Amino acid sequence: TQLLEQSPQFLSIQEGENLTVYCNSSSVFSSLQWYRQEPGEGPVLLVTVVTGGEVKKLKRLTFQFGDARKDSSLHITAAQPGDTGLYLCAAGTSYGKLTFGQGTILTVHP
Amino acid sequence: EADIYQTPRYLVIGTGKKITLECSQTMGHDKMYWYQQDPGMELHLIHYSYGVNSTEKGDLSSESTVSRIRTEHFPLTLESARPSHTSQYLCASSESPGVADTQYFGPGTRLTVL
């Protein structure tokens, strides 16, 4: 059973379009992170959200943590080819360990 | 910018060989982790450590072993590599206590066993 469900699994869009990636669970988390990973590299942290209802913005990226701290979303406005990559959500479990969603592969075509 | 390093970046070896994947971090983090990841897929935790002389197995069973003799160094060893071990191996570290379990990742080692 997947603790964190990410959707969609694949997303292929044109430059300039908007998109939203979802991360859902039946469990409550104390925090949730979003990472972006490029091929052949390790994941790089984008944001950490800790408060239910929290919204964080990072340039064209908007992250939201659900009120009940069971879900999160990542919204990208006016996507660019440089946004292409694997987006992973992750939540803390016990003793600092993280469990990861299965990821969303985003491809932005010029 | 995270200071965590992995070597080699790419490794192609034959079945039955013993290999060690190196991971080092210069941030003084107590917690370190090893993940296994197939291309474009989720990360699976195979080993973790909370400090020197502390190692634990992760959620995904692995035939590899790890050691933590120094804070900055967390090598992973496969005694006899098999084609089923072909994957990307990612090392990470985090502070203890830290901000909301944030982990910093190395660039990974892509292992291919023929």
How far lies A19's CA from each of A14, B4, B28, in Å? 10, 32, 38
**DSSP assignment letter at B84:** G
Coil, strand or helix: which one is B99? coil
Q: Do the chains contact at B40 and A86, CB–CB below 8 Å?
A: yes
Q: Could you tell me if B82 and B14 are in contact, meaning their C-beta atoms sit under 8 angstroms apart?
A: no
**DSSP assignment letter at B39:** T
Q: Do the chains contact at A42 and B31, CB–CB below 8 Å?
A: no
- Nearest C-alpha in B relative to A85: B40
Q: Is the pLDDT of residue B56 over 80?
A: yes
How far lies A106's CA from each of A15, A40, A103, in Å? 12, 15, 9
- Average pLDDT over chain B, rounded to whole? 91
Spatial distance between the Cα atoms of B83 and A65, rounded to a whole number of angstroms: 40
Q: Which of B6, B40, B94 is closest, CB to CB, to A96?
A: B94
Per CB-CB distance under 8 Å, the chain B contacts of A101 are 42
Question: What pLDDT, on the 0 to 100 scale, is given for residue B95?
Answer: 82
Chain B within 8 Å of A101 (Cβ-Cβ)? yes
User: Sheet holding A55-58: strands in order across?
Assistant: A5-7, A19-24, A71-76, A61-65, A55-58
Question: What pLDDT, on the 0 to 100 scale, is given for residue A97?
Answer: 80
**In one letter, which amino acid is B73?**
H
Between positions 25 and 84 of A, the ones with CB within 8 A of B are: 30-31, 33, 35, 39-45, 48, 50
Mean pLDDT of A24-29: 88
Q: Do the chains contact at A45 and B42, CB–CB below 8 Å?
A: no
H helices of A1-110, in order, are none
What digits encode the pLDDT tens for the residues A47-95?
A: 988 889 999 999 999 999 999 989 999 999 999 999 999 999 998 776 6
Q: Bridge partners of A71?
A: A24
Q: Could you tell me if A86 and A37 are in contact, meaning their C-beta atoms sit under 8 angstroms apart?
A: yes
Question: What pLDDT, on the 0 to 100 scale, is given for residue B100?
Answer: 59
Chain B within 8 Å of A100 (Cβ-Cβ)? yes
Is the CA virtual torsion B53, B47, A40, B29 positive or negative? negative
Q: Is the pLDDT of residue B98 over 60?
A: no
Spatial distance between the Cα atoms of B71 and A20, rounded to a whole number of angstroms: 39
Q: Do the chains contact at B100 and A33, CB–CB below 8 Å?
A: yes
Q: Is the pLDDT of residue A99 over 90?
A: no
Q: Could you tell me if A35 and A88 are in contact, meaning their C-beta atoms sit under 8 angstroms apart?
A: yes
Q: Which of B39, B96, B107 is closest, CB to CB, to A42?
A: B107
Spatial distance between the Cα atoms of B9 and A90, rounded to a whole number of angstroms: 24
Size of the A and B interface in Cβ pairs below 8 Å: 65
